[in-house]
Structure 1
Amino acid sequence: MIERVNVSPASGTAVRARARMVDRLRTDGIRDERVLAAINQVPRHQFVEEALASRAYEDTALPLGFQQTISQPFVVARMIELLVAGRPGLGRTLEVGAGCGYQAAVMSFLASDVYAIERIGKLLEKARGNLRPLRLPNVRLKHADGSIGLLEVAPFDSIILAAAATATPKALVDQLAPGGRMVLPLGRAGGDQIIVLLERQSNGSIKETRLDAVRFVPLLPGTE
């Protein structure tokens, strides 16, 4: 059933809708309670367009403008769960494709630091505005080309891409710390895409695991 939510702060409905969303994620297979708790901390309706706020707690991607989307909650939870599984936390984390700032906010409860890169300047300003009321001291946003990473603060324990690459970005793999993990959608826009988990082994080699089918906007170079 599609749930329309009254997000008036006085109603408390958004809090209950968020709890129900978390319950659905648990039922759908998200097992890490740390991930579910982090998602329950973040008011997703504050990260979507006002006209779509009543749909914020549906398990669906929603448009942000600039030909970008806020990812489906299940996909956000699934990718973060892959990164954190069997580890005490995400550690120093790089997000490529900050978008509206929602995923960075969720990860802030699991990471020591989150560095979120966005190539679209006006979208990054929206993310700043969305994140400001939450006062998350460990989230840093940067307007830059995410496909080349953030060498000045590398290496990263965790890297997550919110856009689909057609090939594994070597620059990002090179910025993985020993024991680090990267999760990304791999495939062409409009074609088949899958979640890929990359793990740096103790000998420096990279282990690749191919997982679920997904649909993401493409990873593009440069800034605008």
Structure 2
Amino acid sequence: MAGLIADPFRAARLVLHLRQEGVTDDGVLRAMETIDRAAFIDDPALTDLAFENALVPIPCGQIIPRPVTTGQLIQALQLEKGNKSRVLLIGAGSGYTAALLAQIASDVFAVERFNALTEAIRRRILNLELSNLAVRCGDGLPGWPERGPYDRILLAGAVEEIPEALLSQLGKGGLLVAPVVTADGQVLMRLHENGERERLGFRHALPLLREGPAQAL
């Protein structure tokens, strides 16, 4: 099937590097050794970066984060395959993170503000036959309340404050994970539906999520 890693050596090397960087969740590792990051890179000249721990530029001035960053974000959600979790992803970008989540969760709903990226994700959903992944174009910070509530919500970009609109879409026992901008840099936060907050270690810098849909692209 298109979009799956065909080279077992490259997949094994990727998993080894992820483990060395603290990504140890079996479900996350299985997803990342299955879904080919190269399938989400538009520029053929950049596909060699797919198995490197490198940022990759994509259209609309956006990026695909480093694999380690992506793995740590998904791991922080504490998803368990088979638990029928419903996940909301804000800032879908290339669709790579959404495709990984679709390998673990039962249903994934992704929001992307750029129409060109949204259409590209829809094509990739068809190629990968991801029937449990839906995407829409629009402002992600208000969430997608029509499809809620959610067991997990992941912000794939940084925010200065967690929008209350997103917290209100968490179901009972739900978790929200987001990189939050602080005076010390970006900190990965995990917020529980009951109000509990956890500050997790994080040394990456992700672009800020912006309000509103993109006007031109």
Same fold (TM over 0.5): yes
Distance 2:200 2:49 in 1: 31
CA deviation after TM superposition for structure 1 residue 141, in Å: 0.6
Contact 1:146 1:221 in 2 (8 A): yes
The residue identity in structure 2 corresponding to 1:172 is L
Distance 2:121 2:80 in 1: 30
Question: Is the aligned partner of 1:194 residue 2:187?
Answer: yes
The residue identity in structure 2 corresponding to 1:104 is A
Residue number in structure 1 paired with 2:10: 17
Question: Is the aligned partner of 1:38 residue 2:28?
Answer: no
CA deviation after TM superposition for structure 1 residue 90, in Å: 7.0
CA deviation after TM superposition for structure 1 residue 193, in Å: 1.3
Residue number in structure 2 paired with 1:154: 148
The residue identity in structure 2 corresponding to 1:217 is P
Deviations 1:148-196 (A, max 9, x none): 00111111101001111111111111111111111111117xx821211
The residue identity in structure 2 corresponding to 1:215 is A
Matches within 5 A, 1:126-137: 126-137=120-131
Pick from 195, 198, 212: which aligns with 1:208?
A: 198
Matches within 5 A, 1:64-213: 64-84=58-78, 89=83, 91-187=85-181, 192-201=185-194, 205-213=195-203
Residue number in structure 2 paired with 1:29: 22
Residue number in structure 2 paired with 1:217: 207
CA deviation after TM superposition for structure 1 residue 198, in Å: 0.9
Contact 2:187 2:199 in 1 (8 A): no
Contact 1:200 1:207 in 2 (8 A): no
CA deviation after TM superposition for structure 1 residue 88, in Å: 5.6
Structure 1 stretches of 4+ moved >6 Å: none
Distance 2:91 2:33 in 1: 22
CA deviation after TM superposition for structure 1 residue 65, in Å: 2.2
Q: Which runs of 5+ in 1 are unaligned?
A: 1-8
Q: Percent identity?
A: 33
Q: Choose 81-90 or 27-36, whichever is displaced more.
A: 81-90
Contact 1:195 1:214 in 2 (8 A): no
Computed over aligned residues only, the root mean square deviation of the Cα atoms, in angstroms, reads 2.0
Q: Secondary structure at the match of 1:213?
A: coil
The residue identity in structure 2 corresponding to 1:158 is R
Q: Choose 110-119 or 129-138, whichever is displaced more.
A: 129-138
Q: Which runs of 5+ in 2 are unaligned?
A: none
* Matched length: 209
Deviations 1:58-97 (A, max 9, x none): 0122111212101111111111111126786570000001
Distance 2:10 2:81 in 1: 29
CA deviation after TM superposition for structure 1 residue 98, in Å: 0.8
